[in-house]
Amino acid sequence: MSSSANLTNSPDDHGRFGMFGGRYAPETLTFALEQLTDEYAKAKKDREFQQELDSLFKNYVGRPSPVYHAQRLSQHCGGGQIWLKREDLNHTGAHKINNTLGQALLTRRMGKKRVIAETGAGQHGVATSTACARFGFECVVYMGAEDVRRQAPNVNSMKLLGATVCPVHSGSKTLRDATNEAFRDWMASVESTHYIIGSVVGPHPFPMMVRDFQSVIGNEAKGQCLEQFGRLPDKIVACVGGGSNAAGMFYPFIEDEVELFGVEAGGKGDGPGEHAAPLTYGKPGVLHGSMSYVMQDSDGQTENVHSISAGLDYPGIGPEHSFWKETRRVDYVTRTDLQALEGFHALTQNEGILPALESSHALAYAMELAKKSSPEEIILVCLSGRGDKDAAEIARLAEQYQQKS
């Protein structure tokens, strides 16, 4: 299980990463999942497809995103050097666009004209709406009613981009319920609609395919590190909700001697419903089409989760992360809501960069690593998105905390 060959050659033909992954999806969707698997396999070998995607990355997204030395933040921590992979500078403000453009090209290849998506923080919703506007697809985005409230700026953007935003009022009114609703739509529309899943979750081939599209992050970073400091970083840190920015960042380094850290949402505490950290507190189970670590009760019912960041507020995790946890290739840790806020403020005040609350979890952990490191050590953080969308929510929370103290 721990041989490196398995780490790079996963998943197998059935979408298995060790015991994780697979395809626990209704029979109605099997046809579309097979079609997608075949089409993606063909596209992967098709030079024209790759060239078109590369060109979109360069001219539309603004890639490569820089690797930036956060010198003042590093000084503020004292110790190792913190470097940032600036996915926040991408068009639409996060790494999500890497995946939606790839899947939009596949949608066109499959001859489908309608796209659906789920979204938590709204970054994937905006990235999907953007790709759909760019390619002329009809777009419907499902979003938990609670997230519609706390991520209002993104909801407006989606509407302006021509998407229909459907608030989901069932269950916990967050990302997980939005995902259920998107699947239900797809059950009825599967012959004409493509479902652009936003993370490395869901039934095969989504975890593999989304990881591949996001691997542009790690592949670029590798070259940029060699160019800027002549070697690979010592440590890489990324936040994990579903786990797409982390998967894209880690995968190209998986066989290198680099320590990898995935940071889950520690929320308000370690009790059930207080966090969104299935790799830390959960057990293997089935959710949304794949086997992976998940927060469930003793009957297998999905438990409610909490995070200050809508993008991490999810009870499951991509199956490949479960595999990396089991094989001990990646260390998974948690940072709390408050620590994430501290990370947010530290970067904002020392570097003039507003990070997304999701990415702030990674920053908070990287800052702690830096404190314990020597000045030569290099810690690379995937700054997965920008925090403009969170500014209002952070102001609201700051008021709350002030009232409490």
Partner 1 sequence: MSRIDDRFHELKAAGRKAFIPFLTAGDPDLDFTAQALKALDEEGATFCEIGIPYSDPIADGPVIQASYSRALDQKIKLDNIFAMTATIGQEIQAPLITMVSYAIIYKRGLKQYIQDAQKSGIDGAIVPDLPVEEAGPFSALCKEADFSLIQLITPTTPADRVEKILATTSGFLYYVSVTGITGERKTLPTDLADRVKRLQEKTTLPICVGFGIHQPEHVKTVSAVADGVIVGSAFVKRVATAKTDPTAALTDIREYTQRMVAGLSSK
* Catalytic site residue from 173, 264, 384, 393: 384
* Annotation marks residue 118 as catalytic: yes
1: Cα within 13 Å, side-chain hemisphere = 13
Q: Which stretch binds partner 1 (CB under 8 A): 220-228, 233-241, 271-279, 284-292?
A: 284-292
Query: What is the CB neighbour count within 10 angstroms for residue 350?
Result: 17
Given candidates 20, 183, 213, 261, which one binds partner 1 under the rule CB under 8 A? 183
- The yes or no reply on residue 41 touching partner 1 (CB under 8 A) is no
- The yes or no reply on residue 191 touching partner 1 (CB under 8 A) is yes
- The yes or no reply on residue 26 touching partner 1 (CB under 8 A) is yes
Q: Exposed, middle or buried: residue 376 (CB in 10 Å: 0-12, 13-18, 19+)?
A: exposed
- The yes or no reply on residue 378 touching partner 1 (CB under 8 A) is no
Alpha-carbon gap, residue 118 to 239, rounded angstroms: 19
- The yes or no reply on residue 38 touching partner 1 (CB under 8 A) is no
Q: Are 164 and 141 in contact (CB under 8 A)?
A: yes
Query: Which of 314, 323, 266 lies closest to 294, judged by CA?
Result: 314
- State the nearest-atom distance from the C-beta of 131 to partner 1, in Å: 24
| Helix H or strand E encompassing 351 | helix 337-351
Q: Cα–chain-centroid distance for residue 162?
A: 24
* Annotation marks residue 96 as catalytic: yes
- The yes or no reply on residue 291 touching partner 1 (CB under 8 A) is yes
Q: Which stretch binds partner 1 (CB under 8 A): 31-39, 95-103, 150-158, 241-249?
A: 31-39
- Kindly write down the DSSP assignment for every residue of 186-241, as one continuous string: HHHHTTTEEE---SS-SSTTHHHHHHHHHTHHHHHHHHHHHHHHSS--SEEEEE-S
* Catalytic site residue from 118, 358, 368, 393: 118
Interface residues for partner 1 in 292-311 (CB under 8 A)?
296, 298-302
> In this structure, are strands 283-287 and 259-267 parallel, antiparallel, or unpaired?
unpaired
- The yes or no reply on residue 167 touching partner 1 (CB under 8 A) is no
* Annotation marks residue 384 as catalytic: yes
- State the nearest-atom distance from the C-beta of 127 to partner 1, in Å: 23
Residue nearer to partner 1 on the CB measure, 110 or 397: 110
Greatest Cα pair distance in the chain: 59
**Residues of the shown chain interacting with partner 1 in the complex, contacts defined by CB under 8 A:** 14, 22-32, 34, 170-171, 176, 180, 183-184, 187-188, 190-191, 285-289, 291, 296, 298-302
Catalytic residues: 96, 118, 384
